[in-house]
Amino acid sequence: MSEDKKPETKEETSSDPQSKDSQDSASAVAEGYIGHVKEVLTQPDDHFSDDSKASRNYGLISAGLFLGLVFVFNVITQMTRFTSWRFEFGFLISSFRVVLALGVPIVATVFVLRWLEGRSGTARSTDFYIGRFGAMLILPTLLVAVGIPLNLLDVALQGWFYGAALIFTYISVFMLSYLYGAQGKLQMAVLMAVGFYFAYRLLRMLL
């Protein structure tokens, strides 16, 4: 009877290596992204002067975090604007519209910058611009993240942080245009930043 029980223990542990590998890969991505954020914040000159450090994956993570926190901030803003908290499904829809109003110009900017650089004969990849824009969005993401708990605590400064996040997003468009897309052409960089602002405001009005 003891011989019949031995095969069962081998089958129970057969799937463990796969789950462990997925956990290790997730932790590796998290550690790599944290290191990426530290480098962008503490050594921005070194980071943005080296084209090889532009990472599409990290850029997508940063953009996703930024838009996700913008969504959360706007939901909380609507929930706490009355004397007593309340939640309505419409809060989610209106907050998603804000995300769309920001997300669409961000995506469009990536392709326009690549097109602008391509006019000179050579152009970096779309992945490059995704990585660079994502890195630029790290500071606005942190500002929105600070504004969320202030919003929950009903501290009047939350609007300052959210407004600063939007301002630095416009500055990011200007910097990306001046450094890469427009290649040092100040007028074109200004037009890109202004165009991004009006595209965002127009979509906010239409959506």
Give every CB contact of residue 17 below 8 A, 6+ residues apart in sequence.
none
What pLDDT sits at residue 138? 96
Domain region containing 124: 55-206
Q: Please indicate, yes or no, if residue 114 is contained in any of the structural domains.
A: yes
Q: For residue 46, is it within any domain? A: no
Q: Please say if the pLDDT value at position 84 is more than 90.
A: no
Q: What does the pLDDT average to over 159-179?
A: 95
Residue at 119 is within a domain: yes
Q: Rg for the chain (alpha carbons), in Å?
A: 22
Taking only the tens place, the pLDDT of each residue in 108-118 is 999 999 998 88
| 3 is a domain residue | no
Token output for 59: 């850029």
Confidence of residue 83 (pLDDT cuts 50, 70, 90): low
Q: Which two tokens stand for residue 7?
A: 């095969």
Q: Is residue 168 part of a domain?
A: yes
In this structure, the number of other CB atoms found within 10 A of the CB of residue 8 comes to 8
Residue that wins the pLDDT comparison between 15 and 87: 87
Query: Structure pTM?
Result: 0.84
Q: Do the domain assignments include residue 19?
A: no
Q: What share of the chain is helix, strand, coil (3-state, %, to 5)?
A: 85, 0, 15
**Is 45 a domain residue?**
no
108 is a domain residue: yes
Torsion region of 63: left, alpha or beta (phi above 0 gives left; psi -120 to 50 gives alpha): alpha
- Mean pLDDT, residues 115-126: 84
Percent of the chain residues topping a pLDDT of 90: 59
CA 172 to chain centre: 12
**Please, which pLDDT band fits residue 196 given cuts at 50, 70 and 90?**
very high
Long-range interactions of 107-110: CB distance < 8 A, separation 24+: 108/199, 109/133, 109/173, 109/176, 109/192, 109/196
Q: How many domains does the chain have?
A: 1
What whole-number distance in Å separates Cα of residue 16 and Cα of residue 174? 49
Amino acid at 152: L
Q: Read off the pLDDT band of 131 (50, 70, 90).
A: very high
Residue 165 pLDDT > 80: yes
Beta-carbon contacts of residue 152 (< 8 Å; ≥ 6 apart) = 76, 80
Among candidate residues 170, 100, 105, the one with its CA nearest the CA of residue 136: 170
Could you report the per-residue pLDDT of 2-58, keeping only the tens digit for each?
445 445 444 444 455 666 666 767 788 888 899 999 999 999 999 988 888 888 999
Q: What is the mean pLDDT of residues 86-105?
A: 92
